[in-house]
């Protein structure tokens, strides 16, 4: 792979060498570096258009990385790009004061997402999560937060725990030990956290019985997309809802990935379970950098009454609000989600058939517009299963063989394949043709 990749990515090699002088790791986020699977170096991108990317060496890719999620409408969606450019022309970019377009964007999000009566826009998913957790603590006057192994909620100290850590350190599955996800996190914070295995109703109910009245919030992805893709077992989200309510703890759905992806109202609409607080980012701005913290009137009350200060110089700037408003309009097209889910399902079904024909232990989990191909001979229900049973080496070979055939997604099995709302039937046909060859080659290597 390395020899073939170096041959076709010579200009990327040059840019990587240059970038590494002035940018640590040669890229702006660690998820784009060699350490996150972009071996021997990532392709440097020349442009994105619709469902396609072209790199500086002229290689074209059908793009299922989609910026790690935000490009839900594909690259350079004409409606959103035009709306942002027009808004900058009309208003400027940033005032440090409110303005009407901000209300319009907020009204559309409130209209779309069942658990959101009020919303504040901010800059990244990590910021939104940090606000949500502190707001839950402020609202309840409690300290403990329950989070789940293998979920990622951004890089802030309060939540940067127990995501793809060393299984040896993580303790028993029914009573995990909080382990920081990297160095620099104050270990004292472990006293403020309870970490649990996901999709495990017994351990959740047991812990809530013991300490439920100390718990400020339970934070969860509504379907896990930071350990590949794992859907909730039937009834699990409703159980989280019922038991948090019983003990007066707030339920936070981190919908940074799931928001606007399964349905316009997010996973909460799709699964029919409404949280107290919701964090959004990625799909929200159709590719422009914007995030949001939203919730019920009760959950947002401290902010509304000025008793909790949520601030940010760039919050709700013109670029963000124009992008949100236009994206919400595009996503309102009748039948859009049904059509796209059907397209994504065709890809998923195709991959199921191709792996089965070749006798490969694999299965696809997900919901059309985002899924993962697990190379495993048993169902993966949580991070413990993933680290024990999923064949990482096979995933790497599959990724590499697809990259050489012009299909791009993240090299780690713990990420996912995103299908945008502008991928086409011919994209799927081409991808399945490439996959047929790539799977055969990946098994042989």
- Which amino acids are annotated catalytic? 152, 254, 282
Q: Note whether 59 and 43 are within 8 A (CB).
A: yes
> Which backbone phi and psi does 407 adopt, to 5 degrees?
-125, 125
Q: Considering only 80-88, 99-107, 132-140, 150-158, which stretch makes contact with ligand PMP by CB under 6 A? A: 150-158
In the range 283-342, which residues lie near ligand PMP by CB under 6 A?
291
Minimum distance, C-beta of residue 131 to ligand PMP, in the bound complex (Å)? 12
Burial of 118 (0-12, 13-18, 19+ CB in 10 A): middle
- DSSP class of residue 25 equals G
Rounded Cα gap, residues 417 and 105, in angstroms: 28
Minimum distance, C-beta of residue 153 to ligand PMP, in the bound complex (Å)? 5
Among residues 58, 64, 13, the alpha carbon closest in space to that of 411 is found at 64
In the range 335-394, which residues lie near ligand PMP by CB under 6 A?
none
Q: Which is nearer to ligand PMP, 59 or 327 (CB)?
A: 327
Among residues 361, 257, 317, 375, the alpha carbon closest in space to that of 87 is found at 317
- Reduced to 3 states, what is the DSSP secondary structure of residue 307? coil
Q: Among residues 26, 154, 178, 265, which is the contact residue for ligand PMP, using CB under 6 A?
A: 154
Q: Which is nearer to ligand PMP, 323 or 354 (CB)?
A: 323
Minimum distance, C-beta of residue 27 to ligand PMP, in the bound complex (Å)? 14
Q: Which is nearer to ligand PMP, 36 or 375 (CB)?
A: 36
**With binding defined as CB under 6 A, does residue 71 bind ligand PMP?**
no
In the range 97-126, which residues lie near ligand PMP by CB under 6 A?
124-126
In the range 257-276, which residues lie near ligand PMP by CB under 6 A?
257
**Sign, CA torsion 287/291/292/293:** positive
Minimum distance, C-beta of residue 222 to ligand PMP, in the bound complex (Å)? 9
Minimum distance, C-beta of residue 282 to ligand PMP, in the bound complex (Å)? 7
**Sign, CA torsion 280/69/163/390:** positive
Minimum distance, C-beta of residue 308 to ligand PMP, in the bound complex (Å)? 20
Q: Where are the beta strands (DSSP E) in 264-420?
A: 277-280, 291-295, 363-366, 370-374, 407-408, 417-418
Q: Which is nearer to ligand PMP, 12 or 320 (CB)?
A: 320
Q: Considering only 49-57, 147-155, 320-328, 425-433, which stretch makes contact with ligand PMP by CB under 6 A? A: 147-155
DSSP string spanning 161-200? BSSS--TTTS--TTSPPP-BSSTTS-GGGGGGEEEE-TT-
Greatest C-alpha distance within the chain = 63
Rounded Cα gap, residues 305 and 81, in angstroms: 36
Nearest residue relative to ligand PMP (C-beta):
125
Q: Among residues 153, 164, 341, 381, which is the contact residue for ligand PMP, using CB under 6 A?
A: 153
Among residues 322, 407, 364, 353, the alpha carbon closest in space to that of 43 is found at 407
Contacts of 33 (CB under 8 A, 6+ apart): 25, 26, 27, 42
**With binding defined as CB under 6 A, does residue 156 bind ligand PMP?**
no
**With binding defined as CB under 6 A, does residue 129 bind ligand PMP?**
yes
In the range 196-255, which residues lie near ligand PMP by CB under 6 A?
221, 226, 254
- Interface residues with ligand PMP (CB under 6 A) are 124-126, 129, 152-154, 221, 226, 254, 256-257, 281, 291
């Amino acid at each position: 792979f390395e020899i073939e990749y170096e041959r076709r990515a010579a200009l990327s090699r040059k840019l990587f060498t240059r970038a590494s002088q002035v940018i640590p790791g040669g890229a702006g986020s660690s998820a784009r570096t060699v350490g996150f699977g972009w071996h021997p170096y990532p392709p440097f991108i020349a442009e994105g258009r619709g469902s396609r990317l072209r790199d500086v060496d002229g290689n074209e890719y059908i793009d299922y990385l989609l910026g790690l999620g935000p490009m839900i409408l594909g690259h350079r969606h004409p409606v959103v790009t035009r709306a942002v450019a027009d808004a900058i022309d009309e208003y400027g970019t940033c005032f440090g004061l409110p303005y009407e377009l901000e209300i319009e964007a907020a009204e559309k999000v409130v209209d779309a997402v069942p658990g959101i009566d009020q919303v504040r826009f901010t800059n990244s998913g990590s910021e939104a999560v940090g606000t949500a957790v502190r707001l839950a603590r402020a609202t309840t006057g409690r300290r403990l937060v329950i989070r789940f192994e293998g979920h990622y909620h951004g890089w802030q100290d309060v939540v940067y725990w127990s995501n793809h850590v060393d299984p040896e350190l993580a303790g028993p599955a029914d009573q995990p030990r909080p382990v920081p996800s990297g160095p620099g996190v104050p270990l004292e914070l472990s006293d403020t956290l309870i970490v649990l295995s996901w999709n495990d109703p017994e351990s959740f109910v047991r812990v809530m019985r013991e300490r439920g009245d100390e718990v400020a919030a339970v934070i969860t992805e509504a379907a896990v997309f930071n350990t590949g893709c794992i859907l909730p077992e039937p009834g699990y989200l409703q159980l989280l809802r019922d038991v948090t309510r019983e003990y007066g703890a707030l339920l936070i759905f981190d919908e940074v990935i799931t928001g606007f992806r399964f349905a316009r109202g997010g996973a909460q609409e799709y699964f029919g379970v409404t949280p107290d607080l919701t964090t959004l980012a990625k799909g929200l701005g159709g590719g422009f950098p914007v995030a949001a913290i939203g919730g019920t009137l009760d959950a947002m009350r401290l902010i509304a009454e000025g008793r909790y200060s949520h601030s940010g110089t760039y919050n709700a700037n013109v670029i963000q609000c124009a992008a949100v408003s236009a994206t919400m309009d595009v996503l309102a097209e009748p039948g859009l989600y049904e059509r796209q889910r059907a397209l994504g399902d065709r890809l998923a079904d195709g991959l199921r058939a191709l792996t089965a024909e070749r006798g490969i232990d694999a299965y696809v989990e997900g919901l059309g517009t985002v899924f993962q191909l697990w190379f495993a001979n048993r169902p993966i229900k949580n991070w413990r299963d993933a680290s024990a049973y999923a064949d990482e080496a096979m995933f790497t070979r599959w990724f590499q063989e697809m990259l050489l055939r012009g299909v791009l997604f993240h090299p780690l099995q713990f990420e996912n394949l995103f299908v945008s709302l502008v991928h086409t039937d011919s994209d799927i046909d081409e991808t399945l043709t490439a996959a047929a060859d790539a799977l055969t080659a990946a098994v042989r290597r």
